[in-house]
Amino acid sequence: MMDGFWLLIDALSLLVSVAMFALYHWYIRDALKKNGPLATTGSAMISAYSQWTDVILSDPVKYGIIGLQTLRNHQQGSQLLASTSCLLALSVMGYASADIATERRIKLSLLACALLSAFFCYMSVLRLLIQISYFLQAEAIPKSLILEHFHKAAVYYKVANRSLYFAMPMGIWIILSPAMPVVTLLLVVALYHTDVTVFYGQDHVAAVPGDVQGEGAAITSRCGVHQA
């Protein structure tokens, strides 16, 4: 009887936490539509990508080294996070393969899936950034293709970060499942303060140049980038 009760608590805690996390991202997505492209840090990067690319392409001899160094820094960060996610996933899978209770093995397997998803996404970011570093040196590559790669990288980076973030309440879920929704709520509050900019709640669409806004919006609708 008690086993069934705790299984129900485990399932409810997971469902409530997933729903809370999903609703938060739906809220941010909806707020972005109402408050303009500068409402969140991720959406503000859409215009930053375009302007940064313009600067690098305007004088490759002068700004080429700066552009490649910027990309290299991002690549190193993604590589570090990918390695960390992979090591954590292998550690969790190693523990899950031990002689433990079935319900704990299921929880550890779900946690490993989240970490492996983060690993895959970080590696995808790394691959796209390497391609961009070559695109910047090729005159035949149009700016639109470079921006599309930037925004695809932003999608993967966003998913990877969220997977790692959600691994925190999942870790608490394994130890004490009723505490998972509380940790998820604290996580959502922390993410809100990092995702929202000072322009949230104000109409600053005019602050973004028209060509950048139009080009960024077109690529964003194709790639699904709303925030990092």
Per-residue pLDDT reduced to its tens digit, 155-191: 899 999 999 999 999 999 999 999 999 999 999 999 9
Q: Which of 9-13, 34-38, 41-45 is the most confident on average?
A: 9-13
What is the average pLDDT value for the chain, to the nearest integer? 83
Q: Do 187 and 170 touch, CB atoms closer than 8 A?
A: no
The token pair that represents 188 in the structure block: 């959502």
Of 27, 26, 18, 41, nearest to 166 by C-alpha is: 18
Nearest-angstrom CA–CA distance, 161 and 168: 12
* pTM reported for the whole predicted model: 0.81
**The pLDDT of residue 84 is above 60:** yes
pLDDT confidence band for 199 (50 / 70 / 90)? low
- Rounded Cα–Cα distance for residues 9 and 219 (Å): 42
Phi then psi for 40, rounded to 5 degrees?
-125, 160
**Biggest alpha carbon–alpha carbon distance for the chain:** 72
- The alpha carbon of 75 is separated from its chain's Cα centroid by a whole number of angstroms, namely 15
